[in-house]
Amino acid sequence: MTTMAEKGEHRYILNMGPQHPSTHGVLRVILEMEGEYVMDPQPVLGYGHRMHEKMAESRPWPNFLPNAARMDYLSALIYNHGYVGVVERLAGIEATPRAEYIRVITSELNRLQSHLLWLGVLVLDLGAFTPIMYTFEDREKILDILEDVTGSRLTYCYMRVGGVVRDIDDKFVERTREYISWQRSRMPMYDKLVTGNIIFRKRIEKIGEFNPDMARRYGLTGPVLRGTGIPYDIRRAEPYSVYPEFDFEIPTETTGDCMAAYLVRVREIEQSLRILEQALDKLPAGPAMAKVPKKLKLPAGDACYAVESPRGELVYHLTGDGSDTPYRMKIRVPSFSNLSLLPELCRGMLLSDLCACMGSLDLVIPEIDR
């Protein structure tokens, strides 16, 4: 009698998702398993496809503003920033200096809340429930600050071509400063509770290692790339808005494993706080909205605008044809490239390590499908 293993029938297919807490959205991964080992993971995309790019091409350009927030719900303001940036670049409009500072401040707050959520859910994916409660306490403070100025808590539609909708006031500045010192006081606690935890370290150290060469091949960006030692950050490599005026570091690690991506993100929290502090100190007076023609037509031509989202490089490419409707709009999202690494990275890995890997890639599925 032959066993199943001898017949080669020991491989089986396991569907992870589309509804799985560890995929953080409707992502399906078809896993060809051999026992506990993943032999061939294949991501299946498109469950959340809403044709955002086509929507941009079929309606006047201002109508795309609320869409930008719906692609990546965790960094809506940074997506707002990219879109108004590309329209401004194409139409040759300049936002006021105060508006640029407000954009940087709100974007960095948005980045912080995204990193805090990621920190909580990464540890949650690995089986520790407590840290997410602490990160959400911090995150709630940011959401309250942003709600006060933008009016919403997650899907912001705050930036406009030429500036921002509502100017920030002294109360906002004061609350943000309070938050900065609060977050600084919390970081040693996370360091002890999460980074130092032996179980956590064993789960992510030396898991999902890759080298800079592989990262280049897949076009990885963001903290995952910086974890391999390449200091590539759009805020420095291709400076936009008022980022050149701030003094901050690009944290890098060299190991390229999940731990490296983790450490880079945690250190980025501190860098974002530094940018916030400097921006609040330098905040210029003046109007928060520039004079923009009421019926703005997009001139014929192309424009490209890249911003650094919490997950990596986000590029908007806009082609205008003289009307108010874009001729073509292409959005390059970071999570898509970061996810394409998964089949090669996770071959031969334990199923539980795959969850750690996906957690450290920090995928946001609606932005992949968009």
| Binding stretches for another protein (CB under 8 A) | 59, 62-67, 70, 130, 134, 137, 140, 144, 147-152, 155, 157, 165-166, 189, 192-193, 196-199
CB of 130 to another protein, least distance (A): 6
Q: Which is nearer to another protein, 150 or 221 (CB)?
A: 150
User: Cβ closer to another protein: 30 or 65?
Assistant: 65
- Closest contact distance (angstroms) between CB of 339 and another protein is 27
User: Smallest Cα–Cα separation from 318: which of 300, 294, 336, 333?
Assistant: 300
For residues 16 and 157, which CB has a smaller minimum distance to another protein in the complex?
Answer: 157
Residue nearer to another protein on the CB measure, 146 or 279:
146
- In the complex, what is the shortest distance from the CB of residue 329 to another protein, in angstroms, rounded to a whole number? 15
Tally: H helices and E strands in the chain:
16, 11
Q: Least distance in Å: CB of 67 to another protein? A: 8
Question: Residue 326: what residue type?
Answer: P
**Cα–Cα distance between 363 and 370 in angstroms, integer?**
13
* 310, 114 contact by CB (below 8 A): yes
Query: To the nearest whole angstrom, how small is the minimum distance from the Cβ of residue 210 to another protein?
Result: 26
Minimum CB distance to another protein smaller for 148 or for 209: 148
Among 357, 57, 43, 42, which residue's Cα sits nearest to residue 207? 357
* 25, 60, 95, 348 from 318: Cα distances, Å: 28, 13, 18, 41
Nearer to another protein, 87 or 220 (CB): 87
Query: Would you mind telling me the total number of residues written for the chain in this entry?
Result: 370
Provide, rounded to whole angstroms, the least separation between the CB of residue 10 and another protein.
Answer: 34
7 vs 294 by CB, closer to another protein = 294
Q: Residue 213 burial by CB count (10 A; 0-12/13-18/19+): exposed, middle or buried?
A: exposed
The least CB distance from residue 63 to another protein, in Å, is 4
DSSP 190-239: HIIIIIT-HHHHHHHTTSS---HHHHHHHT--THHHHTTT----HHHHS-
Cα–Cα distance between 243 and 71 in angstroms, integer?
Answer: 24
- What span, in angstroms and rounded, lies between the C-alpha atoms of 159 and 102? 10
Smallest gap, in angstroms, from Cβ of residue 26 to another protein?
Answer: 20
SS3 189: helix
The distance between the two most distant Cα atoms of the chain, rounded to a whole number of Å, is 84
Select 99 or 149, whichever has its Cβ closest to another protein: 149
Listing DSSP states for 237-284 in one string gives: HS--TTGGGS-------SS-SHHHHHHHHHHHHHHHHHHHHHHHHH--
Q: How far is CA 168 from CA 15, 101, 161, in A?
A: 47, 10, 17
∠312-318-322 over CA atoms, to 5°? 165
Smallest gap from Cβ 185 to another protein, in A, equals 13
Min. distance of Cβ 188 from another protein in angstroms?
10
Nearer to another protein, 193 or 250 (CB): 193
147 or 344: CB nearest another protein: 147
Beta strand 312-320 with 28-34: parallel, antiparallel or unpaired? unpaired
